[in-house]
Chain A
Amino acid sequence: SAVISQKPSRDICQRGTSLTIQCQVDSQVTMMFWYRQQPGQSLTLIATANQGSEATYESGFVIDKFPISRPNLTFSTLTVSNMSPEDSSIYLCSVVPNTNTEAFFGQGTRLTVV
Protein backbone atom coordinates (compact mmCIF):
# COMPACT_ATOMS: atom_id res chain seq x y z
CA SER A 1 0.00 0.00 0.00
CA ALA A 2 0.95 3.65 -0.12
CA VAL A 3 -0.03 6.62 2.02
CA ILE A 4 -0.27 9.90 0.16
CA SER A 5 -0.22 13.36 1.67
CA GLN A 6 -1.39 16.28 -0.42
CA LYS A 7 -0.92 19.92 0.50
CA PRO A 8 -2.78 22.19 0.66
CA SER A 9 -6.07 20.40 1.23
CA ARG A 10 -7.93 23.45 -0.05
CA ASP A 11 -7.27 27.00 -1.15
CA ILE A 12 -9.05 30.04 -2.49
CA CYS A 13 -6.96 31.94 -5.02
CA GLN A 14 -7.23 35.12 -7.05
CA ARG A 15 -7.45 34.84 -10.80
CA GLY A 16 -4.17 35.36 -12.57
CA THR A 17 -2.11 33.83 -9.76
CA SER A 18 -0.54 30.38 -9.54
CA LEU A 19 -0.81 27.61 -6.97
CA THR A 20 1.59 24.76 -6.39
CA ILE A 21 0.19 21.52 -4.98
CA GLN A 22 2.48 19.04 -3.27
CA CYS A 23 2.17 15.25 -3.20
CA GLN A 24 4.28 13.26 -0.75
CA VAL A 25 4.27 9.44 -0.65
CA ASP A 26 5.46 7.34 2.26
CA SER A 27 7.39 4.94 0.01
CA GLN A 28 9.25 5.03 -3.27
CA VAL A 29 6.93 4.57 -6.22
CA THR A 30 7.65 4.43 -9.91
CA MET A 31 4.34 5.63 -11.26
CA MET A 32 2.72 8.90 -10.16
CA PHE A 33 -0.18 10.73 -11.76
CA TRP A 34 -2.16 13.93 -11.45
CA TYR A 35 -5.92 14.11 -12.00
CA ARG A 36 -8.48 16.89 -12.10
CA GLN A 37 -12.08 16.58 -10.97
CA GLN A 38 -14.27 19.45 -12.00
CA PRO A 39 -17.43 20.16 -9.97
CA GLY A 40 -19.94 17.35 -10.33
CA GLN A 41 -17.73 15.49 -12.80
CA SER A 42 -15.57 12.40 -12.90
CA LEU A 43 -11.78 12.37 -12.72
CA THR A 44 -9.71 13.35 -15.75
CA LEU A 45 -6.05 12.46 -16.05
CA ILE A 46 -3.82 15.52 -16.45
CA ALA A 47 -0.40 13.93 -16.74
CA THR A 48 2.04 11.24 -15.70
CA ALA A 49 4.81 12.61 -13.51
CA ASN A 50 8.05 10.99 -14.63
CA GLN A 51 11.00 10.94 -12.26
CA GLY A 52 14.01 12.61 -13.80
CA SER A 53 12.30 13.66 -17.01
CA GLU A 54 9.49 15.85 -18.28
CA ALA A 55 5.92 14.88 -17.46
CA THR A 56 3.74 13.22 -20.09
CA TYR A 57 0.57 15.24 -20.63
CA GLU A 58 -2.82 14.00 -21.79
CA SER A 59 -4.70 15.62 -24.62
CA GLY A 60 -6.03 19.00 -23.60
CA PHE A 61 -3.40 19.68 -20.95
CA VAL A 62 -0.15 21.57 -21.54
CA ILE A 63 3.01 22.10 -19.59
CA ASP A 64 2.75 25.88 -19.57
CA LYS A 65 -0.57 25.69 -17.73
CA PHE A 66 0.18 22.70 -15.50
CA PRO A 67 3.94 22.41 -14.91
CA ILE A 68 4.87 19.31 -12.95
CA SER A 69 8.01 18.43 -11.05
CA ARG A 70 9.12 14.97 -9.90
CA PRO A 71 12.50 15.36 -8.22
CA ASN A 72 12.51 11.89 -6.64
CA LEU A 73 10.47 8.71 -6.20
CA THR A 74 8.43 9.99 -3.25
CA PHE A 75 7.49 13.55 -4.19
CA SER A 76 5.83 15.55 -6.95
CA THR A 77 4.30 18.97 -7.43
CA LEU A 78 1.62 20.26 -9.76
CA THR A 79 1.35 23.97 -10.43
CA VAL A 80 -1.85 25.51 -11.76
CA SER A 81 -0.67 28.63 -13.56
CA ASN A 82 -2.39 31.90 -14.39
CA MET A 83 -5.59 30.66 -12.82
CA SER A 84 -9.11 31.47 -13.96
CA PRO A 85 -12.44 30.50 -12.36
CA GLU A 86 -12.62 27.57 -14.80
CA ASP A 87 -9.66 26.02 -12.96
CA SER A 88 -11.78 25.60 -9.84
CA SER A 89 -11.61 21.86 -9.28
CA ILE A 90 -10.29 19.15 -7.03
CA TYR A 91 -6.77 18.11 -8.00
CA LEU A 92 -5.69 14.61 -6.99
CA CYS A 93 -2.37 12.85 -6.87
CA SER A 94 -2.26 9.09 -7.49
CA VAL A 95 0.48 6.49 -7.27
CA VAL A 96 0.81 2.91 -8.44
CA PRO A 97 3.54 1.20 -6.42
CA ASN A 98 4.13 -1.63 -8.88
CA THR A 99 2.86 -2.70 -12.28
CA ASN A 100 -0.52 -4.42 -11.97
CA THR A 101 -1.14 -3.25 -8.43
CA GLU A 102 -3.97 -0.94 -7.61
CA ALA A 103 -3.71 2.84 -7.65
CA PHE A 104 -3.76 4.84 -4.46
CA PHE A 105 -5.09 8.38 -4.29
CA GLY A 106 -4.48 11.37 -2.11
CA GLN A 107 -7.39 13.18 -0.52
CA GLY A 108 -7.18 15.92 -3.11
CA THR A 109 -6.73 19.67 -3.14
CA ARG A 110 -9.94 21.64 -3.49
CA LEU A 111 -9.14 24.79 -5.43
CA THR A 112 -11.49 27.74 -5.81
CA VAL A 113 -10.48 30.60 -8.08
CA VAL A 114 -12.24 33.91 -7.56
Chain B
Amino acid sequence: DAKTTQPTSMDCAEGRAANLPCNHSTISGNEYVYWYRQIHSQGPQYIIHGLKNNETNEMASLIITEDRKSSTLILPHATLRDTAVYYCIVRPSSNTGKLIFGQGTTLQVKP
Protein backbone atom coordinates (compact mmCIF):
# COMPACT_ATOMS: atom_id res chain seq x y z
CA ASP B 1 0.00 0.00 0.00
CA ALA B 2 1.19 3.51 -0.76
CA LYS B 3 2.70 5.52 2.08
CA THR B 4 1.19 8.84 3.17
CA THR B 5 2.82 11.89 4.73
CA GLN B 6 0.92 14.36 6.90
CA PRO B 7 1.95 17.28 9.09
CA THR B 8 2.22 16.27 12.73
CA SER B 9 -0.08 18.98 14.01
CA MET B 10 -2.20 21.94 12.96
CA ASP B 11 -4.27 24.62 14.65
CA CYS B 12 -7.50 26.12 13.40
CA ALA B 13 -9.78 28.85 14.73
CA GLU B 14 -13.29 27.84 15.55
CA GLY B 15 -15.68 28.64 12.70
CA ARG B 16 -12.92 28.80 10.10
CA ALA B 17 -12.16 26.19 7.49
CA ALA B 18 -9.60 23.56 8.42
CA ASN B 19 -7.48 22.36 5.51
CA LEU B 20 -5.54 19.20 6.22
CA PRO B 21 -2.98 18.16 3.58
CA CYS B 22 -1.78 14.68 2.74
CA ASN B 23 0.99 13.59 0.41
CA HIS B 24 0.69 10.21 -1.30
CA SER B 25 3.14 10.53 -4.17
CA THR B 26 3.46 6.76 -4.72
CA ILE B 27 -0.27 6.14 -5.08
CA SER B 28 -1.24 3.80 -7.89
CA GLY B 29 -4.23 3.85 -10.21
CA ASN B 30 -6.47 1.50 -8.25
CA GLU B 31 -5.87 3.02 -4.84
CA TYR B 32 -8.41 5.17 -3.03
CA VAL B 33 -7.68 7.96 -0.56
CA TYR B 34 -9.55 7.52 2.73
CA TRP B 35 -9.77 9.89 5.67
CA TYR B 36 -10.57 8.87 9.23
CA ARG B 37 -10.41 10.77 12.47
CA GLN B 38 -9.96 9.69 16.06
CA ILE B 39 -11.37 11.82 18.79
CA HIS B 40 -9.70 11.28 22.13
CA SER B 41 -10.57 7.94 23.76
CA GLN B 42 -12.77 6.83 20.87
CA GLY B 43 -12.37 4.45 17.95
CA PRO B 44 -11.53 5.94 14.54
CA GLN B 45 -14.44 7.38 12.57
CA TYR B 46 -14.76 7.35 8.80
CA ILE B 47 -14.96 10.79 7.19
CA ILE B 48 -14.74 10.54 3.41
CA HIS B 49 -12.95 8.81 0.56
CA GLY B 50 -12.23 9.37 -3.13
CA LEU B 51 -10.42 8.00 -6.17
CA LYS B 52 -9.95 10.82 -8.67
CA ASN B 53 -12.76 13.31 -8.35
CA ASN B 54 -13.35 15.72 -5.55
CA GLU B 55 -15.89 14.49 -3.05
CA THR B 56 -18.18 16.18 -0.54
CA ASN B 57 -20.42 14.86 2.17
CA GLU B 58 -22.07 16.22 5.27
CA MET B 59 -18.83 16.12 7.21
CA ALA B 60 -16.15 17.34 4.84
CA SER B 61 -14.81 17.85 1.34
CA LEU B 62 -11.93 15.97 -0.23
CA ILE B 63 -9.84 17.64 -2.90
CA ILE B 64 -7.52 15.34 -4.87
CA THR B 65 -4.93 16.84 -7.19
CA GLU B 66 -5.06 15.93 -10.85
CA ASP B 67 -1.91 13.80 -10.60
CA ARG B 68 -3.38 12.18 -7.46
CA LYS B 69 -0.13 12.61 -5.57
CA SER B 70 -1.70 14.69 -2.84
CA SER B 71 -5.05 15.56 -1.34
CA THR B 72 -6.62 17.98 1.12
CA LEU B 73 -9.38 17.32 3.58
CA ILE B 74 -11.49 20.39 4.23
CA LEU B 75 -13.69 20.87 7.27
CA PRO B 76 -15.63 23.95 6.15
CA HIS B 77 -16.57 25.36 9.56
CA ALA B 78 -14.46 23.76 12.26
CA THR B 79 -15.91 23.42 15.74
CA LEU B 80 -14.26 22.50 19.02
CA ARG B 81 -15.66 18.98 18.58
CA ASP B 82 -13.53 18.57 15.45
CA THR B 83 -10.39 18.49 17.60
CA ALA B 84 -8.96 15.05 16.81
CA VAL B 85 -6.21 13.12 15.06
CA TYR B 86 -6.91 12.92 11.33
CA TYR B 87 -5.54 10.00 9.34
CA CYS B 88 -5.07 9.92 5.58
CA ILE B 89 -4.91 6.34 4.30
CA VAL B 90 -4.37 4.92 0.83
CA ARG B 91 -6.27 1.73 0.17
CA PRO B 92 -6.35 -0.46 -2.95
CA SER B 93 -9.75 -1.21 -4.45
CA SER B 94 -8.97 -4.90 -4.08
CA ASN B 95 -8.03 -4.45 -0.45
CA THR B 96 -9.61 -6.83 2.01
CA GLY B 97 -10.44 -3.97 4.31
CA LYS B 98 -7.36 -3.78 6.51
CA LEU B 99 -5.99 -0.29 6.99
CA ILE B 100 -2.41 0.85 7.43
CA PHE B 101 -2.39 3.92 9.65
CA GLY B 102 0.33 6.56 9.59
CA GLN B 103 0.90 8.98 12.44
CA GLY B 104 -1.84 11.37 11.32
CA THR B 105 -2.33 15.08 11.94
CA THR B 106 -3.44 16.32 15.33
CA LEU B 107 -5.90 19.13 14.66
CA GLN B 108 -6.52 21.51 17.52
CA VAL B 109 -9.53 23.78 17.03
CA LYS B 110 -9.24 26.84 19.22
CA PRO B 111 -11.98 29.20 20.37
**Residues of chain A at the chain B interface (Cβ within 8 Å):** 4, 31, 33, 35, 42-45, 48, 92, 94-96, 99-100, 102-108
Contacts and interface: CB of A to CB of B under 8 A. Distances in A.
25 contacts: A4-B43, A31-B96, A31-B97, A31-B98, A33-B97, A33-B98, A42-B85, A42-B87, A42-B102, A42-B104, A45-B98, A45-B99, A48-B96, A92-B44, A94-B43, A100-B93, A102-B34, A102-B46, A103-B46, A105-B43, A105-B44, A106-B43, A107-B42, A107-B43, A108-B43
B103 interface: yes
The size class of the interface chain B forms with chain A is: 20 to 34
B93 to A, nearest CB: 6
Given A105-B43, A107-B43, A108-B43, A44 B98 contact: no
B68 interface: no
Contact of B97 (A43, A96, A106, A108): A96
B88 to A, nearest CB: 12
Interface of B: 32, 34, 36, 41-46, 49, 85, 87, 93, 96-104
Nearest to B34: A102
A99 B102 CA distance: 22
B46 A104 contact: yes
Contacts of A31: 96-98
Closest 9 CB pairs of A and B: A96-B97, A105-B43, A102-B46, A31-B97, A43-B101, A42-B101, A105-B44, A107-B43, A42-B103
A44 B34 contact: no
A31 B96 CA distance: 7
Contacts of A105: 43-45
Contacts of B32: 100
